[in-house]
Amino acid sequence: MNAASLTGMTALSIGKDIKLTSAEELEATLRHIGATRYHSLHPFHRLLHGGKLNKGQVQAWALNRYYYQSTIPIKDAVVISRFRDRATRLEWRHRIEDHDGDVGSEGGIERWLKLTEGLGLDTAYVESTEGILPATRFAVEAYVHYCREKSPLEAIASSLTELFAPNLHEERISGMLEHYDFVNPDIMSYFKRRLAQAPRDAGFALDYVKAHATTPEQRAQVCNALIFKTNVLWVQLDALQHAYVEGNIPPGAFVPKAT
């Protein structure tokens, strides 16, 4: 298996002719998918991190991404619900805590609301999700349904985009702080925290799929789960670009105030 043999990769799958015969080939293929499909490559991120967006466009990004963030603990509860094995449930449970926090301690969702508030959005409006793009909703809900309906192995594999998140978050923190006068370190605390959380989570998930995908068919399922998840992320940025960069805001969605 090398990158050249993955030319049959479609929007949906790595292609029927790929036969991964070892955990090492699986990992190499997963890293290739990340290198070619992860949303760090999306033009909207280049605009966001390069200081090319106005405040309203950054607001639209944060508003829509809130729906993704606030759905993650629901998705993780679904993943937990797929495992009769107590050890896997225990391992996965801290992900819910990372996002939901606890009584008296904030979690990722509250940190995200610091970002939207810092950008000038009304928190009640953000939490209502009434103004997000329909494409955001469909993509995010597809992720929850995927974890409910596919195999437990695929549910875990769909989290593997976290392997590629830390580089993106580093770039985002430095790029946004450098380029936008309406961004400060405090409102970027979500990303700083994820720099520590994501590698631990991704490490577990990678070890899990390498150990539990024991046939070429299962290794292909794992790869296709990662492709699915890169699509979930990519679709969200396509929708933001179409609506807020190219100017095609769909009916009823958030309209930035003229500045």
Task: Tell which residue, 229, 221, 253, 235, has the closest CA to residue 20.
Answer: 221
User: Which residue of 129, 150, 152, 171 would you call a contact of a second copy, by CB under 8 A?
Assistant: 129
The site string for a second copy over 232-251 (x = CB under 8 A, - otherwise) reads x-xx--xx-xxx--x-x-xx
Q: Compare residues 39 and 194 and give the one whose CB is closer to a second copy.
A: 39
Q: Which of residues 140-159 bind a second copy (CB under 8 A)?
A: 141-142, 145
Q: Compare residues 164 and 191 and give the one whose CB is closer to a second copy.
A: 164
Q: Compare residues 155 and 243 and give the one whose CB is closer to a second copy.
A: 243
Residue 128 CB-density burial (10 A; 0-12 exposed, 13-18 middle, 19+ buried): exposed
Over its C-alpha atoms, the chain yields an Rg (Å, rounded) of 18
Longest dimension (CA), the chain: 56
User: Which residue of 11, 87, 103, 211 would you call a contact of a second copy, by CB under 8 A?
Assistant: 11
3 state SS of 145: helix
User: Which residue of 130, 170, 178, 207 would you call a contact of a second copy, by CB under 8 A?
Assistant: 130
Residue 101 CB-density burial (10 A; 0-12 exposed, 13-18 middle, 19+ buried): middle
CA distance 137 to 77: 18
User: Which residue of 1, 20, 135, 209 would you call a contact of a second copy, by CB under 8 A?
Assistant: 135
Q: Compare residues 189 and 241 and give the one whose CB is closer to a second copy.
A: 241
- Smallest gap from Cβ 168 to a second copy, in A, equals 17
For 190-208, b where at least 16 C-beta lie within 10 A, e where not — what string? bbebbeebbeebbebbbeb
Residue 52 contacts a second copy per CB under 8 A: no
Q: How far is CA 59 from CA 74, 168, 181, in A?
A: 24, 19, 14
Q: Compare residues 159 and 241 and give the one whose CB is closer to a second copy.
A: 241
Name, in order, each residue with C-beta under 8 angstroms of 36's C-beta and a sequence gap of 6 or more: 9
Q: Compare residues 208 and 234 and give the one whose CB is closer to a second copy.
A: 234
Give contact residues for a second copy (rule: CB under 8 A).
9-13, 36-37, 43, 129-135, 137-139, 141-142, 145, 227, 230-232, 234-235, 238-239, 241-243, 246, 248, 250-254
